[in-house]
Structure 1
């Protein structure tokens, strides 16, 4: 099915060839001129693309409105989060019907011994409630609004917040006195996200970025003093490394962390002497990653360190905080296929995150003997993680849980008894019943015989998957060891309720099956990511789940590279491809070290600037260079943002122009005031997703 009206003419970008020569190879790039973001011609072209996309999709406006209404109608618009205890207060968030942004609030504890969060109702006033930050008030007069830092000091008297109003992920940090409501004179522009108070509330620790948008410097600001007097705590000159800093939960140390894709290093600084000299935990060694968490065991400061030194799937050791390079005590030994993800330490116990059999899991760690007790759940597919645990010595652990069919759920896990206390499950209005939906995992054989997991979600009233061919929405990512977890989505219900099966191809390059799964989908093995996705589609067709005419693929960012690659590799397998902020001009970007984040990315993709073999390999799959003549491409929608600093708008703009040269039906939608995450505000985000879902349904022939 197509909406192509012969009376509508797409914008035609001028061809202005630019020769790019590397390693004896010259590539003529006719659309590189679109990179000039401040050029009026470029802006006019993007606006013309938006106008054309608007005309081409105008017939879907009623469906978009319907889907937006479905998302809105299933959402409890006025709601509250589960309060989390910190100090003498319960902290929680509010959403209000009609308001785009959340509201941060707190209410006083009834008793110092109270660890049971109050049950809050949107219709009932909360005794002693204090509104800390109303995003709707702060966002007035802006087209884009993002909160990148937010924290209250330990004594509860001050609040810091960092705001971005452009979408370029540079935040201005301000401080508010919570006793008077006064905004202090302190104003720190150009920060990265994640600014934090020192434990005593006197200082703010923050990071700034270099010209390539890389967080490279950690600063110390004393509240009440000029920013020009701020102290540089740490600077990382190596362009491959990001830098960040945070205090341990115990408030004993400041940990300064730096890392590339494959190497990390940490420095430790006493929190009561922030102007002192930091000490390196373990000196960096190429290819060795580690992360530390502080605890006090038998009266001694120790660090629990997760590392991959001769341990592909990582192991956990314990060292003295005063001599971290001294003897190591193995706590959890390396086990192949049992990927350790992280350790979080509290006063009396720790929590270990790990991945086994394709699922992330949590276990309680005993400091006494290193035993790990897994927290079990009944569903075959689920996701779980810690969250909302600011206190150092709580009797309970706050968990977030969900699955493809179970809405987001908050539990408190009672450590002493192992009891899970249900605190809240995300309300889904409109008669939603989890029993109406099914989830399962199947396995698709890849080109080399590797079994690729594919998760399926469907509405049972349309029959079980495989009983007859059904429309399929196939999603993929496959980079940076990032795993696509089984998570719930309200907007997805608008697809499932129309008979679409949602599928996730957990391709190599992700982390679903352990560290080797990632290694087998990066650098010179990157093509596995693309062929795995195609194999998943072919398996679903071969097993009778669907047909190529009924598959729409979707991926974003590095997953957008996947979309561009599979569109070139197997265009016959897909009816449509939705590419969100797609990394489709990968080779051009990775060749230019002056562009944001390029040098950091060399550890993920390789360095084509200095290595001819890497150059040739990347050129063999980079979507822009490999658009093919004489093939029938699926319908394509590329969505991007003008102020995206991670994947610049120019990549999909060039790609769409090239696709049109070979007769592809390709649309470009560019948000003119937004960043990598798209538009801001929940209603705006719902409308954006409704636009994409309506396009997906149109491609699948389900728009009527």
Structure 2
């Protein structure tokens, strides 16, 4: 390949086969690499390290390019930066980064931004001596004196809960282990806190406990246990501060809330409305009533209200009706206004409704492809909405918007250094036609002057699961590809909710293959429209998007020149058949339950690991983290081993394992860029552009 030569004569790692037989529904599967799930086995660790060594050796010629890419991406980041402060209960809260440091410093100032700074937590100091360190949720007590916070020093998303006295600066000795990182809530008494306990095997949060500060955690009281392991559970304080709420949720299927007045922490939680299959709702307390966002007889959701003392759905009254072409994804309540986040044609819009005159309007934006969503809005008694705005060419921007006068003020836009100029790039919204006639939105960005003559390398990204919508937003790292002639595109495939609830319904369970076909059809469309060719088309997805990558290389290996599969979920049947594996039981309604024959056979028909064949595959880079709790490292490990065994081509197959991290990769803001530099170097090497 012109401009770059891969080292020759370096054999890839080999790993022994140790067949294990699985039989279900009279169907037999042989898994030759099942034994790779032994995390502590020295032979497994030796193999993983051998894969890293092979990658290092084969890509040794990209070392200078990787360093250049890293410094380039790092140079765009304002190293000494500060988040936009927001006011809550008399204090201004913000975080800041110091030059050259990996982690944020969490701070606050009393009443005025001119007041002295108080450092609540310095994650840089806390992370000293750790390869990985993440601070999760941080919650301040009502009297502003106590901080509850969670930390994970492994990357497996098993957190510890700790407490700090913000007046004395003392961190209390009591430590509560095995908790959810984002679920803690203070009661109104400034001494009681609720938290979620995790099952250390499945990593499911399944119990809500009450702890009184200064007491032995062994005396904590369990206030709720989720008996159905298909549900995720959590706890939070309502925006009104009046209630502590426990929620249970089965993704896109069912929800249930329980409420307790925060002033009476030892009381009993009461159910808001009992759970039902295929019935979801979320709640927001306001004065003497609740607003309820629900899919009850409304697939795209509608807005209801109900009296505070009568929460059963027989008391619900409709405020905003259901619409077939608009998906209501979120709500935000203020004293005089209601703000709805609405998704239409793969664009998230903000709708403002005045409580007094019932008039409403949409906040307008200048670009055709954009993302807008509420920012931090803790204050009820204001007519100012703080929202975020971004596009594929506009860096993240935060506005304060007067909901009465409709005037907006730009409070902060992420500074992109390194010579970035917005007007040098352009973005578009395209519509690819899938094989069944459905139009698939594609968001695309490239440097102005790019000719649509088929010669451009193009990186196509998608996720397409769990109803998660991939909004078009700014990514400063992508500039390194755009400046080297790449086009970057996001395929908004079915499985998300960019086009409403039906978009999700058509992309999961027995319709999951639509996700894969949509992505392939988007690739074909971009070739047909002369944005690229097969020789220059690349694909990328992570986690459930990694499953998408595994499926498309089995279905259409000839369509892609290279594929990057990040932390890919590729062993669908084996994982979903093991309820002890984290996240399995909670996802039966996403993928299926292998105990049901029809669901088993459908999953097996697309499971990437089960469908690897003797044929040519594209160039591939697969990544994982040894401590990954979402997709265990052994899924991609087994997949790579089987691909090596069966593929008939001479294309490159690389497996990069972060031996110190989990699902999200490196915890530091700069270490993450080193991982990204590897990926971009892989793509550029395939294009022969390593200078």
Q: Which position in structure 2 is the counterpart of 1:60?
A: 62
Q: Which position in structure 2 is the counterpart of 1:204?
A: 193
Conserved in 1, the CA contact under 8 Å of 2:371 and 2:471? yes
- Give the C-alpha shift of residue 459 in structure 1: 0.5
Q: Which position in structure 1 is the counterpart of 2:673?
A: 686
Aligned equivalents of 1:161, 1:564: Cα separation in 2: 38
Paired residues, what number?
Answer: 682
Aligned equivalents of 1:199, 1:367: Cα separation in 2: 29
Q: What stretches of structure 2 of length at least 5 have no aligned partner? A: none
2:271 maps to 1:280? yes
Aligned equivalents of 2:175, 2:383: Cα separation in 1: 38
Q: 2:561 is matched with which residue: 575, 580, 583?
A: 575
Q: Which position in structure 2 is the counterpart of 1:519?
A: 505
2:265 maps to 1:265? no
TM-superposition CA deviations, 1:636-664 (whole Å, max 9, x none): 11100011111000010000001111235
Aligned equivalents of 1:551, 1:374: Cα separation in 2: 38
2:611 maps to 1:626? yes
Aligned equivalents of 1:82, 1:193: Cα separation in 2: 23
3-state DSSP of counterpart to 1:303 = strand
- Give the C-alpha shift of residue 368 in structure 1: 4.2
Q: Which position in structure 2 is the counterpart of 1:214?
A: 204
Q: 2:541 is matched with which residue: 542, 555, 558?
A: 555
Conserved in 2, the CA contact under 8 Å of 1:191 and 1:208? yes
Conserved in 2, the CA contact under 8 Å of 1:575 and 1:700? no
- Give the C-alpha shift of residue 411 in structure 1: 0.6
3-state DSSP of counterpart to 2:535 = helix
- Give the C-alpha shift of residue 495 in structure 1: 0.3
3-state DSSP of counterpart to 1:183 = coil
2:325 maps to 1:337? yes
Aligned equivalents of 1:535, 1:44: Cα separation in 2: 40
- Give the C-alpha shift of residue 468 in structure 1: 4.4
TM-superposition CA deviations, 1:216-252 (whole Å, max 9, x none): 1111111111111212121111010010111111111
TM-superposition CA deviations, 1:110-152 (whole Å, max 9, x none): 3xxxxxxx5xxxxxxx641111111100000111001112122
TM-superposition CA deviations, 1:609-647 (whole Å, max 9, x none): x21111111111111111121x22111111000111110
Conserved in 2, the CA contact under 8 Å of 1:332 and 1:370? no
TM-superposition CA deviations, 1:313-372 (whole Å, max 9, x none): 011100112111142210010011210111122333222111112111112233346543
- Give the C-alpha shift of residue 280 in structure 1: 1.0
Deviates more, 1:370-379 or 1:316-325: 370-379
2:593 maps to 1:607? yes
Q: 1:31 is matched with which residue: 11, 17, 33?
A: 33
3-state DSSP of counterpart to 1:461 = coil
Q: Would the alpha carbon gap of residues 600 and 676 (structure 1) be closer, same or farther in structure 2, given more than 3 Å must change?
A: same
Conserved in 1, the CA contact under 8 Å of 2:185 and 2:244? no
3-state DSSP of counterpart to 1:269 = strand
Conserved in 1, the CA contact under 8 Å of 2:334 and 2:383? no
Q: Which position in structure 1 is the counterpart of 2:664?
A: 677
Aligned equivalents of 2:454, 2:178: Cα separation in 1: 55
Output aligned runs, 1:98-113, within 5 Å: 98-110=100-112
3-state DSSP of counterpart to 2:657 = strand
3-state DSSP of counterpart to 1:272 = coil
Conserved in 1, the CA contact under 8 Å of 2:462 and 2:545? yes
- Give the C-alpha shift of residue 559 in structure 1: 0.1
3-state DSSP of counterpart to 1:421 = strand
Aligned equivalents of 2:536, 2:454: Cα separation in 1: 12
Q: Which position in structure 2 is the counterpart of 1:123?
A: none
Aligned equivalents of 2:420, 2:6: Cα separation in 1: 36
- Give the C-alpha shift of residue 153 in structure 1: 2.0
Q: Which position in structure 2 is the counterpart of 1:695?
A: 682
Conserved in 1, the CA contact under 8 Å of 2:6 and 2:61? no
Deviates more, 1:646-655 or 1:341-350: 341-350
TM-superposition CA deviations, 1:448-490 (whole Å, max 9, x none): 1111111110000334xx2443110110110001111111111
- Give the C-alpha shift of residue 4 in structure 1: 4.5
Q: Which position in structure 2 is the counterpart of 1:539?
A: 525
Aligned equivalents of 2:352, 2:258: Cα separation in 1: 27
Conserved in 1, the CA contact under 8 Å of 2:337 and 2:383? no
Deviates more, 1:354-363 or 1:637-646: 354-363
TM-score, structure 2 as length reference: 0.97
Q: Which position in structure 1 is the counterpart of 2:620?
A: 636
Output aligned runs, 1:88-127, within 5 Å: 88-110=90-112, 127=115
Output aligned runs, 1:271-670, within 5 Å: 271-296=262-287, 301-325=288-312, 326-368=314-356, 371-463=359-451, 466-608=452-594, 610-629=595-614, 631-663=615-647, 665-670=652-657
3-state DSSP of counterpart to 1:696 = helix
TM-superposition CA deviations, 1:67-89 (whole Å, max 9, x none): 11111111111111111111222
Aligned equivalents of 2:497, 2:534: Cα separation in 1: 27
Aligned equivalents of 2:442, 2:239: Cα separation in 1: 37
TM-superposition CA deviations, 1:657-698 (whole Å, max 9, x none): 011112353111111111110111011011111111111211
Output aligned runs, 1:239-258, within 5 Å: 239-258=229-248
TM-score, structure 1 as length reference: 0.95
Aligned equivalents of 1:24, 1:703: Cα separation in 2: 52
Give the superposed CA RMSD: 1.4
Conserved in 2, the CA contact under 8 Å of 1:249 and 1:346? no
3-state DSSP of counterpart to 1:492 = helix
Aligned equivalents of 1:530, 1:4: Cα separation in 2: 31
Q: What stretches of structure 1 of length at least 5 have no aligned partner? A: 111-117, 119-125
- Give the C-alpha shift of residue 416 in structure 1: 2.4
Aligned equivalents of 2:108, 2:477: Cα separation in 1: 30
Displacement over 6 Å in runs of 4+: none
